[in-house]
Structure 1
Amino acid sequence: MKIPELTVRPCLPADCERLAELLVVQNKIYGRRESVQGVTERLKRPGFDPEKDLFVTESDGSIVGYAWSTIEETISRIHLHGWISPDYRRKGAGRKLLNLVSGRAKERGMASIHTGVYQENRLARDILPKLGFSYLKRYIEMELEVRTLSPDKLDMAVRTCRQLDGSEEASLAELQNRAFHNHWGYNLYTYDTFHFDINLNNRSYRDIIVSTEGSRITGYCWTEVSEYYGPTGTTKRGTINMLGVDPELQNRGIGRTVLTAGLAYLKGRGVNHVSLSVDAVNRNAWRLYRSSGFTECGSILWYGKTVRQETGTR
């Protein structure tokens, strides 16, 4: 079958629903259930402009690929996420999309473009160096089955933790920034972006489990529940998005307690399979997860490309 000519261009308002439909298809390929509503909601994230930060590949009136560039100003990078439908790969669209993203990075004064790919994605790993990307670092994927954990330990952790209250969002955003400001790839949250991210249609601030001393939040476990396709229908899976402890209160067992309470919360929501990602060089976090029952199941490899800013002439 001859593939119609591909057009690569910035996203237009009329593209948003068709793009959302493409992401629904993409997620289904990888087993995850996504909705058009869920995708279009993410297009409204504070600071994100779909007409400037999102680029699409079009063929014969259909959106068949995209490059989603998130501006992360505090670390001067663009976090790039993209995908092209299998039938339209190796046609030059990837390079053209990257050129548009690079132009956006220069426009915003960003120093680099970073993207993460699964280790088993040989196609991406082969193509990225040809597009000027270099390998940066590895994140370890880990998983756990909650049913293997001691009910007594889960119950004990639950008694010492609770769900976040909506009035505490600003305090938690400040704590997270203090806990992760010097971690690789962490872009500082504003209150608006934090509020948006924890209250998406499939999320709630109540999914964040916290430990406290009086009114002070000492640690937290940010959980999420997603639906995946299985052989007999959909099933729920849990994710630990973030686990943090007040930097002034390290080495007191708070991280282990709030992690266990988060797993108990996910169990209560009907989840058995839970996954997370951890920086391979963060051995303290890796040891915590390993000793809590998580096992390694894969890797995400991060690649980066330096953006050459234009210099003026006199």
Structure 2
Amino acid sequence: MPIRSYTGDQLPSLLDFIGAVRGWGSQGRDLARRIYREVLAQPDLSPSDNCFLLEDEEGKIQGFCLVTPELPISRTVLELEVAPHLSGSSLEVELLRRGTERARELGARVVHICPLEAQRLADLLSAESFVHARTYLDLVWDHAELPLWQAPDGFSVRSFQPGDASLLTEIQNSAFDGSWGFCPNSVDQIEYRASLSNTSHQGIIFLHQGENPAGYCWTCVAPVNGGIRGLIGMIGVVPGYRGQGVSRAILLAGMEHLRSIGVADIALQVDGSNTPAIRLYTSVGFEKVGEIHWFELDLELPSTPNC
């Protein structure tokens, strides 16, 4: 079964494959297809160079590996999926190796992957010299009422407006500078992502003290379990405002927006080592429902995969 580079005419087949293996369902199918189509079209991704497909004799897609370059921090992120009957097969290994080969071609120093089925893939990844790098907690909020909140004295909240892409880029890059896995964004990238089908300008919320931005919350939605789930995608505080208790107000402003659009529940992911953030999220009612595991391949170390 050959591995081929993605071409634009394969988009419908690729979306059909991803929808089948991930169980998008009827209610969220259209939204999920739009989102993934937009992901492939995002600036600097170039899927014809960075997406690889497994096809059977009939030309039906049986797996894919998407390589997302984040070269400002010398890494790439792999997304790997195969049909259930190919799970753990040599073809899955070949697809993974093609993704890591592409990372080398791009000049990356490290490859990260966050598989949906970490337990199933752990041995395969270990055999290919990947090591466990990070554990994130999957948290969900599902309550009847939000905690009461208000902006701190002297602060106000507002939503993203046309022309705010530069401001959001500056705040996000400042808030997450030095954070594990964070790649600084360009204004073009932020502009594009702010227009995706899973987000809205109303769902990107700034907290200001007078004219000075203090932080932001970027919300979005995703199809999950036959309904639409709200997501806290990013929440960040400008370094000069840390330790002043503004995170709770930003978080609850974002959650209030998501509640206003009728989502079934609200989810977020948080680094398992970030104790202050975990304390904040659990204080407003988020509960742990699972874990997400990141694995890392250091391309500067000698490669010793098991054949």
Q: How high is the TM-score relative to the length of structure 1?
A: 0.88
> Which residue of structure 1 aligns with residue 79 of structure 2?
81
| Alignment partner of 1:264 is 2:260 | no
RMSD: 2.2
Query: What's the secondary structure of 2:233's corresponding residue?
Result: strand
Q: Deviations over 1:80-126 (max 9, x none)?
A: 111001022233122211222222112111001101135x6421122
**Which among 2, 5, 15 is matched to residue 7 of structure 1?**
2
Instruction: Write out the 4+ residue segments of structure 1 that deviate beyond 6 Å after TM superposition.
Output: none
In structure 2, distance between residues paired with 1:30 and 1:282:
34
Aligned CA distance change for structure 1 residues 271 and 157 (closer, same or farther; 3 Å): farther
> Which residue of structure 1 aligns with residue 12 of structure 2?
17
In structure 1, distance between residues paired with 2:298 and 2:61:
28
> Which residue of structure 2 aligns with residue 252 of structure 1?
244
- Measured after TM superposition, the shift of residue 47 of structure 1 is 0.4
Q: Deviations over 1:196-226 (max 9, x none)?
A: 1121122223211121122322111111122
Q: Which amino acid aligns with 1:210?
A: F
Q: Is the 8 A contact 1:164 1:205 kept in 2?
A: yes
Q: Is the 8 A contact 2:24 2:223 kept in 1?
A: no
Query: What's the secondary structure of 1:167's corresponding residue?
Result: coil
- Measured after TM superposition, the shift of residue 29 of structure 1 is 5.7
Q: Deviations over 1:210-247 (max 9, x none)?
A: 211223221111111223343xxxx2211100111111
Q: Deviations over 1:256-300 (max 9, x none)?
A: 001011111111111241110111111111111111211111111
**Which among 120, 123, 128 is matched to residue 126 of structure 1?**
123
- Identity among equivalent positions (%) equals 28
Stretches of structure 2 that go unaligned for 5 or more consecutive residues are 303-307
In structure 2, distance between residues paired with 1:99 and 1:272:
39
In structure 2, distance between residues paired with 1:308 and 1:32:
45
Query: What's the secondary structure of 2:296's corresponding residue?
Result: strand
Q: Which amino acid aligns with 1:8?
A: I
Query: What's the secondary structure of 1:147's corresponding residue?
Result: coil
In structure 1, distance between residues paired with 2:98 and 2:21:
22
- Measured after TM superposition, the shift of residue 38 of structure 1 is 3.0
Q: How high is the TM-score relative to the length of structure 2?
A: 0.90
| Alignment partner of 1:217 is 2:202 | no
Aligned CA distance change for structure 1 residues 132 and 31 (closer, same or farther; 3 Å): farther
**Which among 96, 99, 108 is matched to residue 97 of structure 2?**
99
**Which among 268, 276, 285 is matched to residue 293 of structure 1?**
285
**Which among 69, 87, 99 is matched to residue 67 of structure 2?**
69
Stretches of structure 1 that go unaligned for 5 or more consecutive residues are 1-5
In structure 2, distance between residues paired with 1:286 and 1:229:
25
Aligned CA distance change for structure 1 residues 240 and 32 (closer, same or farther; 3 Å): farther
In structure 2, distance between residues paired with 1:189 and 1:242:
13
In structure 1, distance between residues paired with 2:253 and 2:70:
31
Aligned CA distance change for structure 1 residues 228 and 138 (closer, same or farther; 3 Å): closer
In structure 2, distance between residues paired with 1:254 and 1:275:
20
- Measured after TM superposition, the shift of residue 164 of structure 1 is 1.6
Q: Is the 8 A contact 2:86 2:92 kept in 1?
A: no
